Each structure stands twice: as C-alpha cells, then as structure tokens.
Structure 1
Amino acid sequence: MPDRSAFALPIAALVLACAACSPPEQPVPEQPPEPQATQLRDAVQAPLEKARAVEDAVREADEHRRAQLDANDG
C-alpha cells in the first residue's frame, strides 16, 4: 500500500502555489475617480478657442483698416 503522505506534500504545494497566484483584492475607493474626459476636452478646446480669438482680432483689424481706407478715399 503506498504511503499517503508522499502524495499529500506535492498536492499541498500545488494548492499553495495556486493560492499565491491569485491577485489581491482591490479596496473599494471611498470617492469615485474624477472624470478625465474633461481634461482631454479642455486640452483640445484650448488651442481652438485661441485660434478663434486670433481670427476675431484679425477680422476687427481688417474692418478697421478698410474703414480707414474708405475714409481716406472719400
């Protein structure tokens, strides 16, 4: 009759090895993380808003220049 303790040791080692491979449980955060989509949206929108502001300034300068030209011609 084979010795049962000879089989128990490898089985116990296998069970411990499998238990060590499982990931640890993650703690539940107290506060949900802040959404990062707003940061991405702001990062994309900032240069567009700056370009719109520059475009408005260029249009105003052009209108002013045209008004001066019309005043000088008349």
Structure 2
Amino acid sequence: MTVIARAFALSTLLLGAAACSRPEPPPTDRPPEPQATPPRATQLRDAIQRPLDRAKAVEPQVLDAARQQRAQIDAQTGG
C-alpha cells in the first residue's frame, strides 16, 4: 500500500469516527424559554375537543334512554 493510500484510508477512518461522535448537550445553566402556543395549535385543539365535549354533554341522556328501553323490554318479557 502506498503512503497516499494509507493517508487516505486513515483520513477516511478519522472522518468517519468524528461523524459518529455524540453531539454536545446544550448548556444547562438556564432552562429554555417557554414558548407561547401558536393560534393554529389552539384552533386544532379546540376542533378536536368540541365533539368530545358534545358527546359528554349527551351521555346522560343516552344512558337514561337505555335504562328506559331496558325497563320496557323487561316489562314486556316479564323479566
């Protein structure tokens, strides 16, 4: 192997090792600044939450209707 080939191989190995090293952690002397929630994220959260809130509001009515239906079925079947 020639000197140039050895130098090339060694430099390739060193560059490869440097590329695989772990990045430095960020300084921990102060915590990161809090970021405000962007308006688009708030709109998305509200759009997801709206149907869930409606379903929770209707749930007692649905459960009451199911109880009444069971009572009618029991009354008709003698159970």
TM-score by length of 2: 0.38
TM-score between both structures, scaled by the size of structure 1: 0.40
